[in-house]
């Protein structure tokens, strides 16, 4: 009894330390998406390279997709671009771009210079479709399964590590699904 009485404050202190220590490793700037395991929100956007062609949810059906939100004014996107190019080269996941609040001419110039890893790119000049998707920054990437359901959301750039350790195993798992 006496033991408990003297050590209780210490135990309380330890519990508080554990709580605060955990707080240090949280990322409050990463807001979890409520779309996980739900159908992707419907969208229809003109394609960057051909305004008459539309990109929509139909483009997700039958294969695993990474929908990448990017812009030429986004500094980190340039860094992520080289990772996306590697992914496009070495994996059969379909990359779809969502060009967010950008100048179309700039975007085309940007891709001509660096190469285009995307299968198709939707142009969201107003940012309204991005809001429909719950996007709040660039880059963001949605992992979408063969039925058009969102299965994971990557907030911030895909680094070679996140691809190898996190996304690639998930893509491979989803590709085995019917």
Partner 1 sequence: MRIFFIILLFFSFKVFAAQDIYQFDSIQKQQRFDALTSQLRCLVCQNQNIAESNAALAIDLRKQVYEKIQKGENDQSIVNYLVERYGDFILYRPPFNGLTLALWLGPFLFLIAGLSYLFYYLRQSKMRE
- The verdict on 41 binding partner 1 (CB under 8 A) reads yes
**Binder among 133, 142, 152, 163 for partner 1 (CB under 8 A):** 133
**Binder among 29, 52, 105, 161 for partner 1 (CB under 8 A):** 29
- The first and second tokens of residue 129, run together, are 């479709």
**Binder among 79, 132, 164, 172 for partner 1 (CB under 8 A):** 132
- The first and second tokens of residue 46, run together, are 């003109």
User: What is the DSSP secondary-structure string of 42-100?
Assistant: P-EEEBSS-TTSEEEGGGGTTS-EEEEEE-TT-HHHHHHHHHHHHHHHH--PEEEEEEE
Per CB under 8 A, which region of 89-97, 106-114, 130-138, 165-173 contacts partner 1? 130-138
- The verdict on 137 binding partner 1 (CB under 8 A) reads yes
- The first and second tokens of residue 52, run together, are 């008459």
**Binder among 33, 116, 129, 154 for partner 1 (CB under 8 A):** 33
């Amino acid at each position: 009894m006496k033991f408990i009485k003297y050590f209780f404050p210490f135990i309380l202190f330890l519990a508080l330390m554990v709580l605060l220590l955990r707080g240090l490793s949280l990322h409050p700037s990463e807001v979890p998406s409520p779309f996980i395991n739900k159908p992707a929100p419907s969208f229809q956007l003109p394609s960057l390279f051909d305004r008459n062609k539309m990109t929509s949810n139909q483009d997700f059906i039958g294969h695993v997709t990474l929908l990448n939100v990017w812009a030429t004014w986004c500094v980190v996107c340039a860094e992520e671009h080289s990772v996306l190019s590697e992914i496009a080269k070495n994996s059969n996941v379909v990359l779809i771009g969502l060009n967010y609040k950008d100048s179309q001419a700039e975007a085309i110039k940007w891709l001509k210079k660096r190469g285009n890893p995307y299968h198709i790119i939707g142009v969201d000049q107003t940012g309204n479709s991005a809001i429909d998707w719950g996007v709040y920054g660039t880059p963001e990437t949605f992992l979408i399964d063969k039925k058009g359901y969102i299965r994971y959301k990557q907030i911030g750039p895909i680094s070679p590590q996140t691809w190898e350790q996190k996304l690639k195993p998930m893509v491979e798992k989803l590709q085995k699904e019917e």
